[in-house]
Amino acid sequence: MVLKKSSLSMKIVLIAALFALPVGISAVGSEKVSAGKDPNAEEIVTKSIIIYGLFSVQKNGILRSLVKFISPEATREGKSAVKFIRKEKMNDDLRLLELELPETNYTIGYDGQDIWSVFNGEIRKPGPQEVAPFKSSHAHGYEALLRYKQNNAKLEYVGSTKLGTLDLDIIDMIAEDGSRTRYEISRRSFRIIYLNYEEKPDPNSEPVKYRIYFKDFRVIQNSLIPYSTMVFQNGKLIEERTVVEAVFNVQLEEKDFKAENNVKAPEPAPGL
């Protein structure tokens, strides 16, 4: 079975929950519904940073998940692993995403200099349709909001909305390149419930709208992480991820993020 590039680009939109995007992004999602004096965006996000834990003590980590990719043609299930070493700026983070699906093993990573990929044991240069979502999911993840100061991003209070009985504050994060991510944060718990952003695959195409929903929050090594994530593309559910293992400050070295160190020998044919 061959995994087409168009399929790959959809499959790595979120994974790497995780894990910047070029131009052409604007915030989307809930509309402003509140009136009067706006709350302070920085104060709200500061409380979220405290609730999620001090990311400065997490030098690296591994998140292993069960994943499900949903399309009109079929639903495919598999496993993923996200590995990272944090740097001072998010753009410098070392990142690696491993994806295992039936008859498909795919890895994409950033080693501090280049983005590379390995497809079924073969190292190759990833195309724009793979690189863009790999960067995008990192730049627009929930962690980007928690590290906004280190990345010189700005915050803007948009308004508020309700999710059932839950009150949500809506905040836009504007990155240095002008790209925006919209976050919907629980006023009671300061957890990030939704994030929204738009991506243009190319300058002449219509923007693709992404909405990501987080739930089942758990505390792991003094850090709060969502164990369940759902990704919507233009209003349709395309991906579900459930964390099965999360560990931080483990034995990871920078050499582990090199392409040549992520080529796995093919499994022998049955009977050999």
Residue 250, phi then psi, degrees to nearest 5: -105, 180
Q: How is residue 212 written in tokens?
A: 């990501």
Question: 267 falls in which pLDDT band (50, 70, 90)?
Answer: low
Residue 252 has pLDDT above 80, yes or no: yes
* pLDDT for the residue numbered 192: 98
Q: How far apart are CA 61 and CA 63, in angstroms?
A: 7
Residue 12 has pLDDT above 60, yes or no: no
Residues 6+ apart with CB under 8 A from 65: 15, 79, 80, 81, 82, 241, 242, 243, 244
Which strand (E) or helix (H) includes residue 112?
none
Chain centre to alpha carbon of residue 123: 23
* pLDDT for the residue numbered 1: 45
Q: Which of 26-30, 48-52, 81-85 has the lowest mean pLDDT?
A: 26-30
Q: Which segments within the chain are labelled E, that is strand?
A: 60-70, 75-85, 94-101, 104-110, 115-119, 122-124, 154-163, 166-174, 180-186, 192-199, 208-220, 223-233, 236-248
For 61, 86, 103, 214, 267, the CA distances from 224, given in Å and listed in that order, are 14, 17, 34, 12, 37
Q: Rounded mean pLDDT of 67-71?
A: 96
Residue type, 188: R
The pLDDT > 90 percentage for the chain reads 71
Q: How is residue 186 written in tokens?
A: 């629980």
Q: How far apart are CA 228 and CA 217, in angstroms?
A: 8
pLDDT per position as a tens digit, 78-137: 999 999 999 999 999 999 999 999 989 999 999 999 999 999 999 999 998 899 999 999
CATH 2.50.20.10 applies to domain 8-253: yes
pLDDT per position as a tens digit, 188-247: 999 999 999 998 877 788 899 999 999 999 999 889 999 999 999 999 999 999 999 999
Q: How is residue 261 written in tokens?
A: 């160190």
Residue 9 has pLDDT above 90, yes or no: no
Give the SS3 label for residue 117: strand
pLDDT per position as a tens digit, 157-167: 999 999 899 99
Q: Rounded mean pLDDT of 162-181?
A: 95
Domains of the chain, residue spans = 8-253
User: What DSSP letter does each residue of 249-261 carry, written as one string?
Assistant: S-S--GGGGSGGG
Q: How far apart are CA 41 and CA 183, in angstroms?
A: 11
Q: 120 with 104: CB under 8 angstroms?
A: yes
* pLDDT for the residue numbered 16: 42
DSSP code at position 11: H
Higher pLDDT, 20 or 106: 106
